[in-house]
Amino acid sequence: MSRRIPLLRLTIGGILARIVLLCIVIIWTIPTVGLLVSSLRDKDQLAISGWWTALQSVTANARTRTPNSENQIEQDGRYVITGSIFEAGDNRSVQSYGGGFLSGELTDHQVGNLLTLENGETFLMQADGSYEWTSPQPFDLENGRLFYYVSYNPPRFTLDNYREVLSRSGVREAFFNTLTVTLPSVLIATTIAAFAAYGFSWMHFPRRRFLLLVIIGLQVVPLQMSLIPVLRMYNDLGIGKTFPGIWIAHTGFGLPLAIFLIRNYMASLPKEIIESAKMDGASESQIFTRIVIPLSLPALASYATFEFLWVWNDLLVSLVFLNQRPDQIVLTSKLRELLGSQGENWQVLTSSAFVSLIVPLLVFFLLQRYFVRGLTAGSVKG
């Protein structure tokens, strides 16, 4: 009996831990799901309701104008102006209408009922948005007349938002510019950090521990303090506002964390393997390339994931070290421009943001089996 109680407590604790973990996953997943759903919604529905109502039909108040008198025709002694609120193929419908040059409010008149106006005029609205306005006298309208209506909008999903984004000038170029910045930055930083981590782990030289503490301390220095001094130095060297300049900048900003993370993993490798290789006559370069690097793939992949996500989503460093021309602007800067100049076109912003999110998600899921192993490396010994 005494053995069952701890087992029961452990089971309850495990269930609670899984529930908490599930809640955290849901909280972190909800924004991504909302972004994806919003990017697939019709732009008119996106403007009037949240993504959580994507599977529900919604109503919206809107206004429109009739054609002017140039569009009138004569039928059976009466003058007629016809029109339609919606375009062909639109699945919306009209629930009620009114206001403007019509009597009452926009909810007072139902579709299909003939509305009699002053001077013998009539107005008839159908559910599909088509209407007919008749008068015994010729219309004299320089501009159309304004009226209001309530539309019924069933759920509608489309890829038009992505087509609009990919066809918009500069987005595709910004996507490839971001790859041009990210991939070399990750490769250079990971390579240099691997060499440095091996040296701090298995090579003996003066002031090794002191230098390691200095590198660890550099992690707390805000990169914003060094942006302008580094840019001035780049301008003196002639590499300001160039891709090599931003590669070096991202490498320098990421090296303290990279060395610390990878060094912890390499230091936890079995000492006997390294000593055996040295006794067999292996050089430091052979030990590094043939033994340490293959065994340190989890740490290298873990840091590469961190660096990729950071550089891909970076805005500040790219604004400082790159021009905003089409041949250099990155995706985050392009999205900022869309937000500034197209603030009402949420369908462009949501689809653009999800396009920029796809690559980091793929990288994370491809390398996730190394991610936790790399993060927890060196935290427990023995």
Of 40, 38, 338, 336, give the one whose Cα is nearest residue 163.
40
Q: Residues for the chain: how many in total? A: 382
Residue 2 has pLDDT above 50, yes or no: no
CA distance 119 to 135: 8
Helix (H, G, I), strand (E, B) or coil at 117: coil
Q: Please give the pLDDT value at position 334.
A: 85
Q: Are 347 and 46 in contact (CB under 8 A)?
A: yes
> Measured over all CA atoms, what is the biggest interatomic distance in the chain, rounded to whole angstroms?
110
Percent of the chain with pLDDT over 90: 31
Q: Given the structure tokens 């603030």, which residue do they identify? A: 343
CA distance 263 to 79: 86
Give the angle subtended at the CA of 363 by the CAs of 216 and 255, to the nearest 5°. Answer: 20
Burial 267-293 (b: 16+ CB within 10 A, else e): bbbeeeebeebeeeeeeeeebbeebbe
Q: Please give the pLDDT value at position 13.
A: 76
Of 192, 191, 184, 193, give the one whose Cα is nearest residue 262.
193
The string of pLDDT tens digits covering residues 187-210 is 999 999 999 999 998 888 888 889
Q: Which residues pair with 60 in a beta bridge?
A: 151
CA distance 320 to 241: 8
CA distance 287 to 274: 7
* 89: number of Cβ within 10 Å: 5
Q: Please give the pLDDT value at position 378.
A: 46
**Cα 42 off chain centre by:** 18
Mean pLDDT of the chain: 85
Phi and psi angles of residue 170, each rounded to the nearest 5 degrees, phi first: 100, -20
Q: Are 176 and 238 in contact (CB under 8 A)?
A: no
Give the tokens for residue 294.
């293959």
pTM: 0.71
Over residues 20-32, the mean pLDDT reads: 89
CA distance 32 to 154: 24
The string of pLDDT tens digits covering residues 101-157 is 898 888 889 999 999 988 889 999 999 999 999 999 999 888 889 999 999 888 888
Strands 115-116 and 122-125: antiparallel
Give the DSSP H or E segment for 135: strand 130-135
Percent of the chain with pLDDT over 70: 91
The string of pLDDT tens digits covering residues 353-366 is 888 888 888 887 87
Over residues 255-271, the mean pLDDT reads: 89
Q: Which residues pair with 148 in a beta bridge?
A: 63, 98
Q: Are 185 and 124 in contact (CB under 8 A)?
A: no
Q: Given the structure tokens 């006298």, which residue do they identify? A: 137
**Cα 122 off chain centre by:** 51
